[in-house]
Chains A and B, each alone.
Chain A
Amino acid sequence: MAKLPLEGVRVVAIHLVWALPYACQLLADFGAEVIWVESLQHFPRATRGLMARPPKELVPMLGSIGRGFPDMDPGERPWNRVAAFNIHMRNKHSCTMDLTRPKGMEMFKRLISTADVFVENNAVGRMPKLGITYESLKEVKPDIIMLSAPGYGNTGPYNKYVGYGFNVECVSGFTSLRGYPEDAPTTCSSTFWMDATSGAAMPFAVMSALHYRKRTGKGQFIDFSQSENLMQWYGESIMDYTANGRVQGTLGNRHTSAVQGCYPCQPSPRRIRPEVFAPKDFADDQWINISIFNDEQWQGLCRAMGNPEWTKDDKFADALSLYKNHDELNKHIAAWTRTQDKYDAFRILQKEGVPSGPVLDDKDVFADPHVKERGFFQEINAPECGTHLYPGLAWKMSKTPGSIRKPPVRVGEDNEYVYKKIMGVSEAEYEEMAKEQHIGMDFI
């Protein structure tokens, strides 16, 4: 039987928050052995929760990211129970060592000597301060590959700038190109799109370097600037400036040439969602996206709406007129969508060949027949969280499929395996290190 595609690749990670953890999730889902080095002395904020031990009554105040404990209860070890972070922890191994003490660093180097790749996305300067540099790792593992992924890259005048991903997205130009046209960017929501884009491309960077090492025996250092990778996502907008001197802004939900929008649908009585503080009625928060790229799709939309009289108006006679009269067209389309359930409208429109789709909230996705049919969600029983459905694999491979083999990893869960099996540490030394609080499962 075929192995997992990345079986045999060992990656040691000191990763934070979302970008690199997501990349390591992809590597681990497809068979790489990802060993996350944590430290009981250092609670990684926004990586295993917003606080190490939030009081239960504070939980509703922690926002969508911080509050996601099973039944909103932080439990005994809150750091093993946060949805926003448990999503990327499956299939990984966790070991603990205090990197600020010589014994911890000695063990870290020992682990590196068995690794193919070391990855980190800490603030610039934090790793060197601990004594971890590409040069120092090369001394213990000459062909090591190191990927370092700070927001703005390792060099340059902004490399030590402080901020969240949202800040870096602002400096990368991403925020200037989105949001409601009437008052952007002041009303832009906080997004973490840069984390997603980094997570998608970092595994490619790592595997490219591994392939080169296999051919030549040489390791290397990858300076992964998350902002510079993100800027690839709208290169054409940047080039509209470099080639034409035009500074693009936001189009809201519109398109440069297609006619499109996000239109309101019939309220759905099924959708009263539990809210953080009190149940709230979001029944009328139902939407469908529709895009019209050509005449054929416009005719499809007309048929779907039952060919109403207004569609025959000269204002909507051809693609140019449609675009010119976009505002008015939107009102007409919305008048129709308001009478439709979003899924009904979706099916009617697709039958007529119109690019369209409901805006799915979290609950909708679990009920979607296509998502179900493809078996996307997978049940995982996590020791401290119970059994839930988790987002599954990002893609399907016909002969060496990825898999979920291990529940979201708890802090220090794999200490025995990492210390004894990988590094060959004796029972006595292991006990000593546990006593010294290098090894354990609870933040201090």
Chain B
Amino acid sequence: MDQALSDVKILDLTQNIAGPFCTKYFADYGADVIKIERPGEGDPARRSGPFFQDDPDPEKSLLFLHLNTNKRSITLNLKSDTGKTIFKELVKEVDVVVENFSPRVMPSLGLSYEELEKINPKLVMTSISNFGQTGPYRDYKASNLVQEGMGHAMYSCGIEGRPPSKLAGSAMEYQGGAMAASASIFALWAKWEQGIGQHVDLSIMEANLTSIDRRAAGLLGYQYTGIVTGREPLAQMGILPMEIAPCADGFVALLLLPEYYPGFLRMLDIPGLGDQFPNLFDMEKKGEFEAIWRPWVAERTKNEIMEKGQAQSISITAVYTTEDLVKSPHFNDRGYWVDIDRPVTGKITQPGAPFIMSETPWQAKRGAPLLGEHNEEVYGEKLGYSKEDLVKLRESGVI
């Protein structure tokens, strides 16, 4: 079935998280993404956990399985001359090359944009890196945590007096990848409309400096007011809860504005409560009010509290664990979870479509590839290599 990007061809040199997440968007919406991996080792994400059944086998990394759906894998040693020649052959007929090596790697392999442009003048090349292709930090080493502190607004996340607190997982790297997906398709649009190929330089630090999650607001806020945003607590609205509170089976988020007070009273459904607390802003009664709602919350489950709160149209929700997500009626009703079958690991439930397109839906045509799984298919189809050719290339360490 035709998908939105079925006619787009991508050579994917990416590894770990940011790059593969960029090309995952393309592959999941139909692009032909050929993932080039180092012979024998492959993408370092294959050696990152969590692993299926906690078995640290390069074919069982759940991180790799998540990020590489719908891609084909070939192995190629870009350090060998033959490998470079083969790569350049493949570059001739693709639309996009995506890479997230450190900035010196592609030029040192003789595969800079300037070189590749000579082979394919309309090529889009997207380079994702921690600090960008230029500037004093271009060769510096970073991690997701380092990016949280430099690019993103880690400084203003957490509690004053404690260290700044990072976000969940590898948020910065994922964000760099998603931004790179948008950047790459913008460059493709310029190719389609204007016939122009070009190099996209995506710095994960800069992408996160534009972040609408507090960072950009804080930066411009500093310009406007001279105030540096610190780790500020949630603004309390009188005696109403504005917090995450423990309940019978976990936690619930009660983020209540004054306008939700009547709804909150209706939810608690305790006779005479409104008369007992007629003034929402009587802060002396905060403790007394807490002594009523906290036990009410503590006795009930997160789903029960969420349903009761939402029945009153007030902003109370459960704090879901990963288990809750998979069991949630909402995400199941929408068909978000998909079982993807592949060799070695069998069927595993994975996140499905990030967005639903009515005409050209997300598809899971194949799970993440085994290392070099498509050597025969791709080298045969693109370059006409026979099985015997591939044996020779294998023996000389090229594939």
Measured in the bound complex, the distance between the Cα atoms of B230 and A253 in whole Å is 18
Q: State which residues 313-327 of B face A: CB under 8 Å.
A: 313-326
B289 at interface by CB-CB < 8 Å: no
- Known contacts A84-B217, A87-B212, A241-B323, A2 near B190 by CB under 8 Å: yes
Q: Which of B144, B179, B220 contacts A391 (CB 8 A)?
A: B220
| Cβ-defined contact, B25 with A201, below 8 A | yes
Q: State which residues 273-304 of A face B: CB under 8 Å.
A: 273-276, 282, 285, 287-291, 293, 297
**Chain B residues within 8 Å of A403, by CB:** none
| Cβ-defined contact, B235 with A63, below 8 A | yes
Q: State which residues 181-222 of B face A: CB under 8 Å.
A: 181-183, 185-190, 192-194, 196-203, 205-207, 209-222
**Chain A residues within 8 Å of B155, by CB:** 287, 359-362
Chain B residue at minimum C-beta to C-beta distance from A8: B193
- Known contacts A355-B141, A356-B146, A398-B201, A197 near B178 by CB under 8 Å: yes
B291-326 contact mask (Cβ, 8 Å, vs A): 1 or 0? 000000000000000100010011111111111111
B347-362 contact mask (Cβ, 8 Å, vs A): 1 or 0? 0111111111111100
A329 at interface by CB-CB < 8 Å: no
- Known contacts A167-B315, A291-B143, A366 near B222 by CB under 8 Å: yes
| Cβ-defined contact, B244 with A175, below 8 A | yes
Q: Which of A156, A187, A250 contacts B334 (CB 8 A)?
A: A156
**Chain B residues within 8 Å of A264, by CB:** 163
B contact face: mostly helix, strand, loop, or mixed = mixed
B10 at interface by CB-CB < 8 Å: no
How many contacts between A and B, using CB within 8 angstroms? 523
Q: Which of B150, B197, B348 contacts A242 (CB 8 A)?
A: B348
Shortest C-beta distance, B239 to chain A (Å), equals 17
**Chain A residues within 8 Å of B66, by CB:** 235-236, 239
A195 at interface by CB-CB < 8 Å: yes
B48 at interface by CB-CB < 8 Å: yes
| Cβ-defined contact, B202 with A200, below 8 A | no
**Chain B residues within 8 Å of A8, by CB:** 193
Shortest C-beta distance, A342 to chain B (Å), equals 9
Q: Which of A234, A282, A357, A390 contacts B220 (CB 8 A)?
A: A390
Tell which of A207-215, A305-313, A412-420 binds the partner: A207-215
| Cβ-defined contact, A240 with B314, below 8 A | no
Q: State which residues 58-92 of B face A: CB under 8 Å.
A: 62-63, 65-67
Measured in the bound complex, the distance between the Cα atoms of B243 and A123 in whole Å is 23
Measured in the bound complex, the distance between the Cα atoms of B162 and A262 in whole Å is 10
| Cβ-defined contact, B315 with A162, below 8 A | yes
Q: Which of B65, B132, B217, B244 contacts A64 (CB 8 A)?
A: B217
- Number of B interface residues, CB 8 Å? 153
Shortest C-beta distance, A340 to chain B (Å), equals 15
**Chain A residues within 8 Å of B223, by CB:** 83, 388-390
Measured in the bound complex, the distance between the Cα atoms of B149 and A288 in whole Å is 8
| Cβ-defined contact, A64 with B333, below 8 A | no
| Cβ-defined contact, B206 with A196, below 8 A | no
- Known contacts A241-B322, A274-B227, A366-B222, A210 near B189 by CB under 8 Å: yes
- Known contacts A63-B235, A244-B50, A374-B134, A353 near B141 by CB under 8 Å: yes
Shortest C-beta distance, B177 to chain A (Å), equals 9
Measured in the bound complex, the distance between the Cα atoms of B182 and A187 in whole Å is 34
**Chain B residues within 8 Å of A2, by CB:** 190, 194, 196
| Cβ-defined contact, A177 with B168, below 8 A | yes
| Cβ-defined contact, B348 with A161, below 8 A | no
Measured in the bound complex, the distance between the Cα atoms of B379 and A444 in whole Å is 66
| Cβ-defined contact, A72 with B225, below 8 A | yes
**Chain A residues within 8 Å of B197, by CB:** 399
| Cβ-defined contact, A400 with B190, below 8 A | yes
Measured in the bound complex, the distance between the Cα atoms of B251 and A157 in whole Å is 20
Shortest C-beta distance, A121 to chain B (Å), equals 12
**Chain A residues within 8 Å of B207, by CB:** 200, 394-395
- Known contacts A180-B165, A196-B175, A233-B169, A86 near B220 by CB under 8 Å: yes
| Cβ-defined contact, B355 with A244, below 8 A | no
- Known contacts A2-B196, A64-B232, A175-B253, A83 near B334 by CB under 8 Å: no
Q: State which residues 121-171 of B face A: CB under 8 Å.
A: 131-132, 134-137, 140-150, 154-160, 162-171
Q: State which residues 356-414 of A face B: CB under 8 Å.
A: 356-363, 365-366, 369-371, 373-374, 376, 385, 388-400
B330 at interface by CB-CB < 8 Å: yes
A232 at interface by CB-CB < 8 Å: yes
| Cβ-defined contact, A175 with B186, below 8 A | no
Q: Which of A164, A179, A192, A244 contacts B255 (CB 8 A)?
A: A164
| Cβ-defined contact, B323 with A247, below 8 A | yes
A153 at interface by CB-CB < 8 Å: yes
**Chain A residues within 8 Å of B164, by CB:** 262, 287, 359
B264 at interface by CB-CB < 8 Å: no
| Cβ-defined contact, A398 with B199, below 8 A | yes
- Known contacts A232-B351, A239-B348, A376-B209, A68 near B221 by CB under 8 Å: yes
Shortest C-beta distance, A402 to chain B (Å), equals 8
| Cβ-defined contact, B182 with A207, below 8 A | yes
| Cβ-defined contact, A192 with B231, below 8 A | no
**Chain A residues within 8 Å of B243, by CB:** 186
Measured in the bound complex, the distance between the Cα atoms of B356 and A156 in whole Å is 13
- Tell me which of B62, B156, B223, B321 has the highest count of chain A C-beta atoms within 10 A of its own C-beta: B223
| Cβ-defined contact, B131 with A177, below 8 A | no
Shortest C-beta distance, A275 to chain B (Å), equals 7
A107 at interface by CB-CB < 8 Å: no
| Cβ-defined contact, A262 with B140, below 8 A | no
Measured in the bound complex, the distance between the Cα atoms of B162 and A275 in whole Å is 19
A174 at interface by CB-CB < 8 Å: yes
Shortest C-beta distance, A100 to chain B (Å), equals 21
| Cβ-defined contact, B201 with A157, below 8 A | no
Measured in the bound complex, the distance between the Cα atoms of B360 and A189 in whole Å is 38
Task: Return 8 A-B CB contacts under 8 Å, by A number.
Answer: A84-B220, A175-B253, A208-B5, A238-B325, A262-B164, A391-B219, A396-B201, A398-B200
| Beyond A195-B212, A353-B141, 14 additional pairs, beta carbon < 8 A | A61-B235, A87-B212, A164-B255, A186-B246, A189-B231, A192-B213, A211-B192, A222-B358, A260-B145, A287-B163, A366-B222, A373-B134, A389-B223, A397-B199
